[in-house]
Structures are given as structure tokens and as C-alpha cells.
Structure 1
Amino acid sequence: MNKARYVSSKIGKTRAIEAKDDLRKYIPLTKRLTAATLKNMLEKYRMVYVKPNVGMFGNGVIRVEQAGDEAVKPYSFQEGVRLQRFKTYKDLYKSLSKVTSKRPYLVQKGIHLLTYKGNRFDLRVMVQQTPGHKWETTGIIGRVAHPRKIVTNFHNGGTLKSVDTLLKSYLPPSKRKGYVGQLQTMGVQVAKAINARYKGVKEIGVDVALDKDLNPWILEVNTSPDPYIFRRLSDKRIFAKIKKYAKAYGRL
């Protein structure tokens, strides 16, 4: 049995998805971090995320913002629960470099996430190869950020919720099923795009942000997603299937 392949490079996985015309629209602009790329993207989007090219559980992710000119300290960044403010871009980048200079980082257009009870959330879409070697979206779960943190990861203080719970105040029941179906289809398309470039990948976890217009954005793709978070869902059939498929390709 071939061991499932793990791909660590976030930029590599992003470029694999961007290679597919029908998926490109879901990718927030993502570039390698330099003083110039960060400055340009901050001026354009006002809020961006800076993240290590290789990393897990939301560790090392930094939210960088540029407020209006009327602010005394218009530049800021937050890593973990600590927020720092700066008068000039030069001061911001100098301080940021102390964190990011040790390894390659990316800068990504910031998506203002939908909220649940005041806290930001995103979705994890689990896609696996079936025992018959087809791709199938086997589960979707919501991740609600810790009130003081910028990342939603469960292993970084986030809370797990069902998709229905999170979308209840944004979509009526009649539209919710179709919307979730679109996310499931997108998950399979992403898996095929990753597999086209990285042969041997058997499973992916797609982190999806939803903006105020309910447009989905692919934040990143994990090729070794935690299957056990799906045990938290009340529908036990979901984790049972995930476990069955993972056993078939040797992950569990």
C-alpha cells in the first residue's frame, strides 16, 4: 500500500490550484513576502495575512493592517493575542522581520470572515480518495476563532461547530443544502488539482473563508488534515466514513 503523500509548501499548493481556470477565482492573491509585496498589498487591501510557507495549526500566522491616514499609528500586526501598532511602514516591517526572517513567508489578501456570536469562523472541507480511488468530499466542519486570536484552528484555541449552526443566520434552510453542495463540489475540484501536480496525495483539508456576500475563498490546503475533529459532529456517520476511507489508504 502506498503511503499518502504529504506536501508542505503552501505556495506550491496554491499554484497547483491556480493552474485550473475554474478554481482561480477562489484564491485570494498570494505572493512571497518581501518589503515591496507587503507594502503594495497593504495599500490595495488594507488587511492581509502573513503566514509561513511551511507550517501547521495556524502557528506563525500574522494579521497585518493599514488604517486610514488620520490614525496616529496606522500600521499594525497581530500574532497570537498580541497586537502591535506603528507610525510608519518602515517601523512595521522592521518589527515584522524579527518574526519572519528565519524562514520563507507568504502574504495573502485578507478576507473579512463571517462571524458566529461575534467571533470569526471559516470551514474545513475534508476530501478523500474512496476505496475505489475516486475523490469525495466526506465532511465539512466549521471552526470558530478564539475571541482574542486571529486564527480559527482547533489546535490553536478554536471551537468546532456544524456548518448548519454557522450558516443559520446567513442562509435559509432551503438554500443551505445547495450551498453546502457547491462547497463539496469545489473540494473535489481542489483535490484533483492538487493530485494533478502532486501524485500520491490521498486526502486534503481545504480551509475555506466565506465573505459577507457568501463567496468562498480557499485560504490554504492541508495534505495531512486532522480527521478526528469530525468526531465532534453529532452526525456520527461522517466520521465513520472518514475513518473507513483513511484506513483504506493507510492513514489510520
Structure 2
Amino acid sequence: MQLSEARPLLGIMVTELMRQLPFANSDFYKRLTQFGLQEGLHVFVFSPNRIDWDRFTVTGYTYIPESREWITNLFPLPTLIYDRCFFSTKDSYHQYRSHVSKLRTKPEIRFLGYGLSGKWEVQQILQKNDYLLPYLPETHFLTNGHDLLHWLNKSNEVFLKPQGGSQGRGALHIQKVMSPDDRMRYIVKGRNARNLPIHRHFKKFEACWYWLRGLIGKRPYLIQQYLTLQSKKGTAYDVRSLVQKNGKGLWETTGMAVRSGKPGSITSNLHGGGTAEDVTDFLTREFGATQAETLIAELTLLSNLIPPVLETHHGRLAELGIDLGIDTLGRIWILEVNSKPGRTIFARMHDKKARSKSIANPIRYAGFLLHKKLS
């Protein structure tokens, strides 16, 4: 295949997996490739592990619409990089960081955005903003069993989540309850690292902590105040807001939707079996039309404010998935911010407009960066 010299290269950087094609989400990347051609960009997919640093080339895949197939080719290092790497091991992350560090030293290469660090670092940045501070749940690093017991003695329940986790994996709800025989019990609900449900009971805290340490291992975890983020039916839910930079380099809200978890689940993530629903319909049913309108205005305001706050302290970002919770009293909480958000929620809702826009915006922003002189 001959590459057109007139078309700048946009490389989608992904994690290499043991499958026929070395990347997941190939349908998403196929759509990016097709839209890129319309916008004058040649889009291809590559793993940083395939870079030849001696020749400054990389083996990658590109989609051919005419034959409806992916083909492999040797590319020069791309002018623009859209980072969509996800990691399951520390080794793969460190290998990735090594390649990214080299790529970032090349002034001719521009990243659409740089991935956010873990949840703790994001929390620390957001806490610097006085307006956002009341929306942030109390959060600390989980360092030992004494900390966890202190939280449980204070509030009877806490939420634990991995510092670097995603898709609800490893999220745990711990409760201290009084049993019918007037004895203290400790209940753990949530999901393990493989996203399988967990439900355990312990008679003593020591046994609970010992089991938790085996489950968590050496992964850094956060301990957070437990928020009652449930619908009238008792299902966990949150609001996912996708914000992206557009072709003018400006932030805009691409779409917003409610994610509801399976009955009994402590999280609402779609990968854990949750469902997606229109935010206006859902909140109107839960809080009434007037309060729903007020909540949506507040959710929109937060979606507009969070990106520039993070970007000021972190560096360039291209898109964010912002997860916002609403407790039973109607108070909004900032739960998580993800710099590599998915688009599944719009497909589940059959929201073609938001889904198309979510694919178009990274391409249009790439075009903006091509013509913008960076300081």
C-alpha cells in the first residue's frame, strides 16, 4: 500500500493483545479511520512495542473501506498520536511509559492529549479549585487495617477502589452491621479484579482485613466515604458526561447519560452488566421535572468546569469521561474522571448523534492541532 504524502499521519496508540488483530475496539478505530480520510488524515493503529527506534518507523494496521479489511504496513512515526492504551500489568505500563517518554521528546510529534494519572492525583488537582471542593467525597489512601477500622467505627460503611482501576473492577463496599444476635459483623460487597461479583461476611474485623489484603495484594487502594447513590428502586446509578475538544480546540459536552447497575451491584458500570438511559427521562422520574432541570444544569456546569481545571495542572487533554453521582437527597458528587473514555453508553442508548460526534471530535481536534502553532 502506498501512503499519500499529502495526508498527515494520525496514529492511534493501543495496547497489544493476544488476538488476531493486536488491538481491541477495532470497530471504533475503523470509524476513526474512515472519518479521518474524509478530513484529510491517514489514520492507522499501532502498538508502541512495534516501534523501530533505529529507523523511526512502526508496524501498524490501517483499515481499507473498499475491501473492508485491516492490513499491516510499515509507517513513519506519526505526526499526531491518539493515546488509547490500557494496561493489565505493571510491566506493560512501564514498557509503555518508556516509549511515550521517547515520543514526547520529538518536537515533530504531537499527542492529542496526555493520559491522566491515577484517581488520587486527579482528586488532588480538583481539590485545588474552591468551587469543585464541595463536590468531592472525602478520600484517602488505604495504608493499613487501623485506618479502615477507624472509618468503619466512624460511619459504619466505606467504599474502597483501586487507585488505577477502571470499569468497576476491584470496587468494594464494606459495612459494619449488628447481627440479630447482637454481634458485630463485617460485610463486603463488590467486584474483584476480573469484574466478578463478591459477597462475603466476617464475624471479626481481623478476618475481614486479612481476606481483603489477600484480595488487594500490592495494588494501591483508596478509601472513600460511602455515598448513597441509588435510585428509588435501589439500583446504583451515576451520570457519565463525555466532554471533548472540537475542531476549534474548545471543550464541549458531546453527550450525557445515566448508567444503572444490575440489582445488588454497588457500581453502575456497563461492563458489570449495567444499562444506559437518557439523563432527562431518568432524573425526571427520580426527582420530578423541576429538580431534574436544576440537576442537569449543575451537571453541565461541572462538565464545563472540570476539563480546564485538570488541564491547567496536568497538561494537554483531548477528552474526558466524567462520572458524577447524585445521592438520595439530590446532592451531586464528582466520582471519577477518565482521560480515555469509551463510547459504549451511546451505542447502548442508540444515540447516533452523540456517537458520531464522539468519533468525529478526536479527528477534528487532530486537524486543529496540525494547524496550530504550539508554544
- Which range is displaced more, 14-23 or 107-116? 107-116
Report the equivalent of 1:60.
Answer: 170
CA distance in 2, matches of 1:20, 1:52: 24
Letter in 1 for 2:243: V
CA distance in 1, matches of 2:234, 2:291: 23
CA distance in 2, matches of 1:203, 1:233: 20
Which of these residues, 307, 310, 325, is aligned with residue 209 of structure 1? 325
- Does residue 41 of structure 1 match 2:119? no
Aligned length: 250
1:63-82 alignment to 2 at 5 Å?
63-68=173-178, 71-80=182-191, 81-82=197-198
Report the equivalent of 1:153.
Answer: 269
CA distance in 1, matches of 2:182, 2:356: 52
- Does residue 118 of structure 1 match 2:227? no
Report the equivalent of 2:200.
Answer: 84
CA distance in 1, matches of 2:329, 2:269: 23
Q: Percent identity?
A: 28
CA distance in 2, matches of 1:98, 1:181: 43
Aligned to 1:217, the other structure's residue is in SS state: strand
Q: Which has the higher contact order (CA 8 A, sep 6+)?
A: 1
- Which range is displaced more, 188-197 or 112-121? 112-121
Which of these residues, 242, 246, 270, is aligned with residue 130 of structure 1? 246
- Which range is displaced more, 206-215 or 74-83? 74-83
The structural deviation recorded for 1:59 is: 0.7
CA distance in 2, matches of 1:171, 1:197: 36
The structural deviation recorded for 1:235 is: 4.4
Letter in 2 for 1:154: L
Aligned to 2:137, the other structure's residue is in SS state: coil
Do the aligned residues in 2 keep the contact of 1:8 with 1:55 (CA within 8 Å)?
no
The structural deviation recorded for 1:246 is: 2.4
The structural deviation recorded for 1:157 is: 1.1
CA distance in 1, matches of 2:129, 2:182: 41
TM-score, length-normalised on structure 1?
Answer: 0.91
Aligned to 1:168, the other structure's residue is in SS state: helix
- Which range is displaced more, 105-114 or 171-180? 171-180
Which of these residues, 180, 185, 189, is aligned with residue 296 of structure 2? 180
CA distance in 1, matches of 2:182, 2:243: 44
Which of these residues, 7, 10, 14, is aligned with residue 123 of structure 2? 14
RMSD of the alignment, in Å?
1.9
CA distance in 2, matches of 1:26, 1:161: 23
What are the ranges of 5 or more consecutive residues in structure 2 without an aligned counterpart?
A: 1-79, 81-109, 192-196, 367-375
The structural deviation recorded for 1:115 is: 1.4
Report the equivalent of 1:164.
Answer: 280
The structural deviation recorded for 1:73 is: 4.2
- Which range is displaced more, 175-184 or 218-227? 175-184
Aligned to 1:219, the other structure's residue is in SS state: strand
The structural deviation recorded for 1:56 is: 1.3
Do the aligned residues in 1 keep the contact of 2:231 with 2:328 (CA within 8 Å)?
no
Report the equivalent of 2:70.
Answer: none
Do the aligned residues in 2 keep the contact of 1:73 with 1:85 (CA within 8 Å)?
no
The structural deviation recorded for 1:116 is: 5.5
